[in-house]
Amino acid sequence: MDPTYTSQALDPDERRKPVVLIAEQLSDATLEALGPDFEIRFCDGANRAELLAAIVDVDAVLIRSATKIDAEVLGVARRLKVVARAGVGLDNVDVRAATQAGVMVVNAPQSNIVSAAEHTIGLLLAVARHIPAADASLRSGEWQRSRFTGVELFDKTLGVLGLGRVGVLVAQRLAAFGMKVIAYDPYVQPGRAAQMGVRLVPLEELLTTSDVITVHLPKTPETVGLIGEAELAKVKPSVLIINAARGGIIDEHALYVALKDSRVAGAGIDVFVQEPCTESSLFELDNVVVTPHLGASTKEAQEKAGVSVARSVRLALAGELVPDAVNVQGGVIAEDVRPGIPLAEKLGRIFTALAGEVAVQLDVEVRGEISGSDVKVLELAALKGAFAGIVEEQVSYVNAPLLAAERGVEVRLIRNPDSPDYRNLVTLRGTLASGRQVSVGGTLVGPKHAERLVEVEGFDIEIELTEHMAVLKYVDRPGVIGVIGRILGEAGVNIAGMQVSRDRKGGKALVAMTVDSTIPQTALDAIAREIDAEDVRAIDLTE
């Protein structure tokens, strides 16, 4: 057969190479990792008009931090299948809009951990030895050795806030300086920390005993403002504080006041609440070293990031499993299993919110028709959800099992075809270090696969999964629901749905409810106090 005739007979979309748009400067290694199978195009992603014109017919776009991928961009990108962020943060990508558009978002969660750890230590040494100020003084013609007398790190106590990948690397490296290492992280088992030579302590003890405090936490509603005026009032006046994680975890104004009043000796800050940040009261102080979010800014980190996302793009466009996908999971997954992936991830997040710590053992049980398929991805999704928001690094399907292993969590996947109440059911059951048992179960309902929470800690319920939820446990008695409604009403929080379950009349009762907005902590405290609740937990399922 004439090959020319065959080519003409093919649909143009079948002949075209997938198009990959490079919207920012990336390393040569990134292009090499993509290989020859793609048509490569370039544009300036920071130029909005140029980006909107260039992205119309591409299959994938590779970006860094300057390119904003939002609903407008996704709306014109008719063929787009993958947004690849060559780095860790996703602040410039509207993940929710991408998910709704069926566009996969990938990043490079492990690319910068060494660079971030080394930058933390660089900031610490710069603060401890006044290196930037001494450099500036000498360059201006001054020789003032006594003015820049510093402090040693040897035999001092390092307090690590967040014992994730970066926190561990910092702890290891500063232990080699002869520092004693303590850490605050409720999601790490003490035995695991001890293996690393780290002693876990409550937050207050870390604040009062540390000579150096380094921050390695994710930015979540729970961690924003974690170190504020009250916390800084507890630290040693000689303490040095370093934050190269996320802006806002330390209250910048409270830190400024503490530094100015000599209640904190020095600080090294790489991240800010608003970025870019070119004006801050912290810049006025001689005992502060600042850098413009340089934690990941090394050649090695940028190359690792580019190569990592290039490989993810190749996998995604080939229809294979993409371990670093943060939203839409690709790969060869049974059609009846695929809708359960976001459900399992949300159940993982609910489990952690209810437990308040990681489990010693966690079972992911899949019951019903889908149990005969390969449901390993549901275990991965549950782990991804369980660790989302409690570790500094982005959690993916590939690193979630590693995070569990690092924290001493034994994970089991259990399959059971018997599901008497639901066609399919996913349940997470965990045992905490205290011996307490926590369980949550969910299912999908109807042709649209509506997500339902159907079991919490042995109580049968059925309630829609929404962004804002709460679970309360108390002794069954009249008037409790009225109290809950009154307090939430006074706080301006509207109840969207509520289910009440109890083990017996006058016994233990559980309320699961959905609300239209975040419940203020003051309202949660008031509810707990007035109904004498055994437990009150808010659940946030926002992206």
Q: Which residues are marked as active site?
A: 246, 275, 293
Are 449 and 524 in contact, with CB atoms under 8 Å apart? no
Retrieve residue 196's tokens.
């690393």
CA–CA separation, 195 and 406 (whole Å): 10
Bond into 190 cis (ω within 30): no
Are 536 and 472 in contact, with CB atoms under 8 Å apart? yes
Retrieve residue 388's tokens.
């989302």
Entry field: residues in the chain = 543
Residues near 323 by Cβ (< 8 Å), separated by ≥ 6? Answer: 312, 396, 397, 398, 399
Give the CA angle between residues 470, 476, 478 to the nearest 5°. 100
Residues near 407 by Cβ (< 8 Å), separated by ≥ 6? Answer: 187, 188, 189, 192, 358
Nearest-10 crossing angle of helices 165-175, 113-128: 50
Taking the mean position of all CA atoms in its chain, how far away is CA 126? 29
Strands 450-456 and 459-464: what pairing?
antiparallel
Which of helix, strand or coil describes residue 58?
A: coil
Are 382 and 375 in contact, with CB atoms under 8 Å apart? no
- Partnered with residue 509 across adjacent β-strands are 474, 502
Give the up-direction half-sphere exposure of residue 183: CA atoms within 13 A in the CB hemisphere.
31
Q: Among 237, 90, 245, 85, which Cα is nearest to 163's?
A: 245
Retrieve residue 220's tokens.
């979540």
Retrieve residue 147's tokens.
């003015």
Q: Among 172, 189, 190, which Cα is nearest to 181's?
A: 172
Strands 39-42 and 199-200: what pairing?
unpaired
Retrieve residue 222's tokens.
């729970």
CA–CA separation, 486 and 495 (whole Å): 11
